[in-house]
Amino acid sequence: MIAGCNLWTHVANKAADNGVFYGLLSESDCMAVCLSSSTCVAVDFGPYGCVIHNNIDHLTTAYYAPGVTQFILNRHCLPTTALPVTSTATTTVENYTTSAGINIIFYRFAKFPTYTL
């Protein structure tokens, strides 16, 4: 990390439309998924999991969401060399359709990447 640079900006009670839902119940797990993606710009973390945003335009639709914290990634604070990964993530995707025809996708992770900062 770059000295004096905050990797994440925390915004309490804020979420944004769009993004990809992950049923991860730990802030650090959500942030690890975001950091493992070269396109991630933010994470909305709340009591039911997190939403990963891969498009900065998603943040223009931010709204008040009690109990949700939006973490905005400042990629300028990342090291210029690749972070060493000590484990790899494996993903299982489960796809369900409700009786109302709503498609729900669950992402389950067996292991999360660990970065040395």
Residue 3 belongs to some domain of the structure: no
Q: Is residue 67 part of a domain?
A: yes
- Residue 114 above 90 pLDDT? no
In a domain, 94, yes or no: yes
Residue 68 inside a domain? The answer is yes
Range with top average pLDDT, 2-6, 53-57, 79-83: 53-57
CA dist 112 and 88 (Å) reads: 6
The mean pLDDT of the chain is 79
The domain in which residue 86 lies consists of 8-111
Average pLDDT over residues 53-71: 95
99 in a domain, yes or no?
yes
Answer whether residue 55 is part of any domain. Answer: yes
From CA 51, how far away is CA 15, in angstroms rounded? 9
Reference 64, options 10, 11, 8, 9; nearest CA is 11
Using a 10 angstrom Cβ sphere, with 0-12 exposed, 13-18 middle and 19 or more buried, the burial of residue 116 is exposed
Q: What is the CATH number of the domain that holds 52?
A: 3.50.4.10
What pLDDT, on a 0 to 100 scale, did the predictor assign at position 6?
87
pLDDT interval class at 51 (50, 70, 90): very high
Number of compact structural domains in the chain: 1
The helix (run of H) or strand (run of E) holding residue 32 is: helix 27-35
Q: Report yes or no on whether pTM surpasses 0.85.
A: no
Residue 22 domain-assigned (yes or no) = yes
Judge contact between 7 and 78, C-beta under 8 A.
yes
Residue 116 CA to residue 72 CA, distance in Å, equals 20
